[in-house]
Amino acid sequence: MRLSLRFIIPLAIVLAAIAYAVVPLVDKLTLKWFVRDLDIRSTLVANTVQEPLLELVRAGSKNKMVAFFSRITQDERLFAIGYCDSSQNQLVATKTFPQGLSCRDIERFRDPGPQVLDSARGPLHVSVQDVEREGTRIGRLVLVHDMSFIQRRSEETKQYVFYFFVGLAAVVSLITVVIAQLSWRGWMQGFHALLRGEGLLRPAEKINVPELRPLARDLRSLIRDVKSEYRPRDEAQLTWTPETLRSILRQDLRGDDILVVSNREPYIHVRRGESIEVQRPASGLVTALEPIMRACSGTWIAHGSGSADAEVVDKNGRVAVPPGNPAYAIRRVWLTKEEEAGYYYGFANEGLWPLCHIAHVRPIFRTGDWNQYIEVNRRFAQAVFEEAKTDDPIVLVQDYHLALLPKMIREKLPDATIVTFWHIPWPNPEAFAICPWRAELLDGLLGSSILGFHTQFHCNNFVDTVDRVLEARVDRETFTISYGRKLTAVKRYPISIESPPSESLIRKTVADCRADIRLRHNLHPDHALGVGVDRMDYTKGILERFLAIERLLELQSRWIGKFSFVQIGAPTRSSIEQYQEFDAHVRALATRINNRFARGDYVPIILKIEHHEPEQVYEYYRAADVCIVSSLHDGMNLVAKEFVAARDDEQGVLILSQFTGASRELPEALIVNPYDIDQCAAALHVALTMPQNEQRDRMRTMRGLVQEFNVYRWAGRMLLDAASMRKRGRLLEKTPAQTRQG
Ligand code: F6P
């Protein structure tokens, strides 16, 4: 149908344009013909009346002449007749003769002058004919024809032409639709037949040519492969759900086992006196991967960092999770305090973290930390080797803690498909080059089959860095890097969240969340509320956010006592000095601002620096009027997407830093530069005064985006790419070595 419309609409436009051009043309032409007819008619009448007229002129009887003329004008079209003698001052005419048309005037109507006179009763055709006696002109006969019938006919002609084109358009459209439908159906049938291996293969079977049978078989299997690759790749057709992922695993990956490796574990067992509590850490990585693992099963290898982690595992360091509803296993890797200090706090978080986030904190590189980093990566590689059930597992390596792992896995399991995802930004080559072990890090990462980043910008930075630092072949068209006889594809996979969120997170209504949170903080039911949810990290722009709140209260005093901001801060990396200092700064700034604007019970900033479970965080998202994400630099930032996913009431405003990956996907947020305090204060005021329908329009678009590009799609795309890589690998293995080149 759409295809047909695509034909019909342009066709209708073309026909309308032709009609528009043709109708005036036809009109002009018919007018010309009619005028010519009237000319001929006038000459005929003049010739016919010549004799009797000469008699009447000779007799000099004007009355008789008028009576004669009146008889002739009985003709319905001949409207008036007049006679002018040669002295041009004697006009003898019928009563109908146009007033104001004198014997002198008639001169201008002589051929080839204009023959149409505009009168009060419409256009008149005026023809002036000589009256001669014995070859001498004695006067002029003026014949005036009524032209209104021409106008009537012209109208009719226009109508007929118009109907003709409408009819033509309908007929041509009908023919076009029929032909288009027939050929589309035929083409599609042909295509389907081709995909089924018919058409091409049947004739070979029918004519029973045994030589062609192997070719037919190969072709059929190739078509099957193409088909299976083609179907799930048609991303627009799919709503990405856990079931979609499961079917990719079943069909495209033939049920192959999945191993996820990350530093952070999704469930942490913590001892609280006599009992053991399970915590879910504040981590974008965990938020994204946990639903994937619930859908796919498999094993998640991670550092066992909880105080009671060792108490709940089996002899292989494994525990089934989620607690109470197990769907997959965590395999815990144990680290000593020294290892954790060097690998996690030291090299990963004092070195790589500030190196990759341009947040003006100087990276610290210590050789001791680097050695621990190598050692711990080796420990993770050993765990992968132990957990792999086959020689060619699919291993999803996560983040900057494990940059050396891909190559280490490749050495132990050369046939593994290793998909590494770098969750933080990748800086430009100059910035990265200050790392003393830059080449080793790149060498480790290029053990991956696929290396993923959130944005194309980070992919470009990585490829540029490799180009600068290593002797590698970089293909910028396919975005692949060939290094040490091994190919790595560098790809963009913007990470996301589970959307719609799980039922437990949005069970409580928005109205209840609003009322309960305000009650909890002793606020009026109409009190405006902002929320920020972050790890207490200097990259998150929490200080800048507070300064913007202070500026808002300075500039718009109406918000003093009417607006508060809840900052949820998850404690993080607290044994690192910069983090301790940052924590102290945040608290001090909040206190200073609160002291400045406090009125009775009222404080503008409510600090909640403690661990919050996802249900508690969602309650704040749903209670807030505005959420601020003001990172100074962030790979993606999933808080922005969580806030959007939480707002099924389509209300609430998101203020989002332009330095997050999320800002590229959510332009309907109020995008700000967190370093520009005045701009952020203004954005806050705009957010707090934004009409409900504008909030709805923005929120609806953002929710659509987050739902469409949810975390199942993120993981699904990586798994599909891994699947086609494996398929290609298998095909290559079957190809004889001498034909492999090129
Ligand atoms: O952004 C990188 C990242 O690994 C995230 O995935 C996560 O939000 C955060 O760091 C967690 O940090 P940590 O594991 O050190 O608490």
Q: Are 660 and 631 in contact (CB under 8 A)?
A: yes
Query: How many angstroms separate the CA atoms of 462 and 460, rounded?
Result: 5
Task: Give the Cβ contact number of residue 656 at 10 Å.
Answer: 31
Amino acid (one-letter) located at 166: V
402 C-alpha to ligand 1 centroid (Å): 13
Is the model more confident about 76 or about 303? Answer: 303
699 C-alpha to ligand 1 centroid (Å): 27
6-20, 293-307, 402-416, 572-586: the lowest-pLDDT one? 6-20
The whole-number pLDDT of residue 197 equals 39
The whole-number pLDDT of residue 556 equals 98
**Torsion angle defined by CA atoms of residues 203, 207, 213 and 219, in that order, rounded to the nearest 10 degrees:** -10
Question: Which of the listed residues 260, 264, 538, 660 should we mutate to test ligand 1's pocket, taking the one with most ligand atoms within 8 A of CB?
Answer: 264
Q: Tell whether the model's pLDDT for residue 236 goes beyond 70.
A: no
| Lookup result for tokens 């993606």 | 636
Q: Tens of pLDDT along 608-625?
A: 999 999 999 999 999 999
The whole-number pLDDT of residue 129 equals 86
Q: Tens of pLDDT along 160-209?
A: 777 877 777 777 777 766 665 655 554 445 434 433 434 433 433 443 44
Q: Which residue has the CA at smallest separation from atom 6 of ligand 1? A: 285
264 C-alpha to ligand 1 centroid (Å): 8
Q: Which residue has the CA at smallest separation from atom 4 of ligand 1? A: 285
Across 291-318, average pLDDT: 96
The whole-number pLDDT of residue 310 equals 98
346-350, 588-592, 702-706, 725-729: the lowest-pLDDT one? 725-729
| DSSP string covering 158-221 | HHHHHHHHHHHHHHHHHHHHHHHHHHHHHHHHHHHHHHHTTTTSHHHHHTT-GGGHHHHHHHHH
Residue 398 Cα: closest atom of ligand 1: 4
631 C-alpha to ligand 1 centroid (Å): 14
Residue 263 Cα: closest atom of ligand 1: 14
Q: Tell whether the model's pLDDT for residue 131 goes beyond 70.
A: yes
Q: Tell whether the model's pLDDT for residue 69 goes beyond 50.
A: yes
Helices (H) and strands (E) in the chain, counts: 25, 23
181 C-alpha to ligand 1 centroid (Å): 55
Longest Cα separation, the chain? 145
360 C-alpha to ligand 1 centroid (Å): 19
pTM of the model: 0.69
The whole-number pLDDT of residue 18 equals 74
Q: β-strand 528-535 against 626-629: which pairing, if any? A: parallel
603 C-alpha to ligand 1 centroid (Å): 31
The whole-number pLDDT of residue 108 equals 79
Q: Tens of pLDDT along 15-33?
A: 677 767 777 777 777 778 7
The token pair that represents 24 in the structure block:
């005036």
Amino acid (one-letter) located at 573: R
| DSSP string covering 311-343 | HHS-TTSEEEESTTS--EEEEEE---HHHIIII
Is the model more confident about 142 or about 176? Answer: 142
Residue 344 main-chain phi, psi, to 5 deg: -85, -60
Please give all residues whose beta carbon lies within 6 A of any atom in ligand 1, as ranges: 263-264, 283-285, 399, 423-424, 572-573, 635
Amino acid (one-letter) located at 641: K
CA distances to 4, 124, 485, 678 from 591, rounded to whole Å, are 67, 96, 58, 21
The token pair that represents 253 in the structure block:
């990956």
Q: Which residue has the CA at smallest separation from atom 12 of ligand 1? A: 283
Across 319-324, average pLDDT: 96
Across 690-713, average pLDDT: 97
pLDDT band at residue 4 using 50, 70 and 90 as cut-offs: low
Is the model more confident about 736 or about 169? Answer: 169
Q: β-strand 626-629 against 653-657: which pairing, if any? A: parallel
Q: Tell whether the model's pLDDT for residue 741 goes beyond 50.
A: no
Residue 634 Cα: closest atom of ligand 1: 1
Query: How many angstroms separate the CA atoms of 521 and 18, rounded?
Result: 72
Percent share of the chain, pLDDT over 90: 62
Residue 570 Cα: closest atom of ligand 1: 16
Q: Are 319 and 282 in contact (CB under 8 A)?
A: no
Q: Tens of pLDDT along 411-467?
A: 999 999 999 999 999 999 999 999 999 999 999 999 999 999 999 999 999 999 999
283 C-alpha to ligand 1 centroid (Å): 5
113 Cβ contact list (under 8 Å, min separation 6): none
The whole-number pLDDT of residue 230 equals 42
The whole-number pLDDT of residue 196 equals 42
Question: Which of the listed residues 283, 303, 534, 539 should we mutate to test ligand 1's pocket, taking the one with most ligand atoms within 8 A of CB?
Answer: 283
Residue 281 Cα: closest atom of ligand 1: 16
681 C-alpha to ligand 1 centroid (Å): 28
423 C-alpha to ligand 1 centroid (Å): 8
The whole-number pLDDT of residue 109 equals 81
Q: Which residue has the CA at smallest separation from atom 7 of ligand 1? A: 283
The whole-number pLDDT of residue 194 equals 39
The whole-number pLDDT of residue 211 equals 53
Amino acid (one-letter) located at 285: L
Q: Tens of pLDDT along 659-680?
A: 999 999 999 999 999 999 999 9
655 C-alpha to ligand 1 centroid (Å): 22
Strand (E) positions, 280-408? 299-303, 318-321, 328-333, 394-398
Give the closest residue to 628 by CA, choosing from 719, 565, 556.
565
Residue 399 Cα: closest atom of ligand 1: 4
Residue 572 Cα: closest atom of ligand 1: 16
533 C-alpha to ligand 1 centroid (Å): 14
Query: How many angstroms separate the CA atoms of 35 and 109, rounded?
Result: 13
Residue 285 Cα: closest atom of ligand 1: 6
The whole-number pLDDT of residue 572 equals 97
CA distances to 17, 390, 394, 694 from 384, rounded to whole Å, are 70, 11, 10, 50
356 Cβ contact list (under 8 Å, min separation 6): 400, 424, 425, 426, 427, 432
Residue 344 Cα: closest atom of ligand 1: 15
Q: Tens of pLDDT along 623-639?
A: 999 999 999 999 999 99
Question: Which of the listed residues 423, 579, 714 should we mutate to test ligand 1's pocket, taking the one with most ligand atoms within 8 A of CB?
Answer: 423
Q: Tens of pLDDT along 36-65?
A: 888 888 888 888 888 888 888 888 888 888
Question: Which of the listed residues 261, 285, 289 should we mutate to test ligand 1's pocket, taking the one with most ligand atoms within 8 A of CB?
Answer: 285
Q: Which residue has the CA at smallest separation from atom 9 of ligand 1? A: 283
Percent share of the chain, pLDDT over 70: 87
127 C-alpha to ligand 1 centroid (Å): 99
88 C-alpha to ligand 1 centroid (Å): 109
Across 467-482, average pLDDT: 97
Domains located in the chain, CATH noted: 2-152 (3.30.450.20), 248-492 (3.40.50.2000), 508-709 (3.40.50.2000)
Query: How many angstroms separate the CA atoms of 284 and 493, rounded?
Result: 14
Residue 279 main-chain phi, psi, to 5 deg: -115, 145
The whole-number pLDDT of residue 124 equals 87
Q: Tell whether the model's pLDDT for residue 148 goes beyond 90.
A: no
CA distances to 271, 484, 732, 738 from 741, rounded to whole Å, are 59, 17, 10, 7
Q: What is the mean pLDDT of the chain?
A: 88
pLDDT band at residue 561 using 50, 70 and 90 as cut-offs: very high
681 Cβ contact list (under 8 Å, min separation 6): 548, 549, 551, 552, 555
Computed over its alpha carbons, how large is the radius of gyration of the chain?
Answer: 44
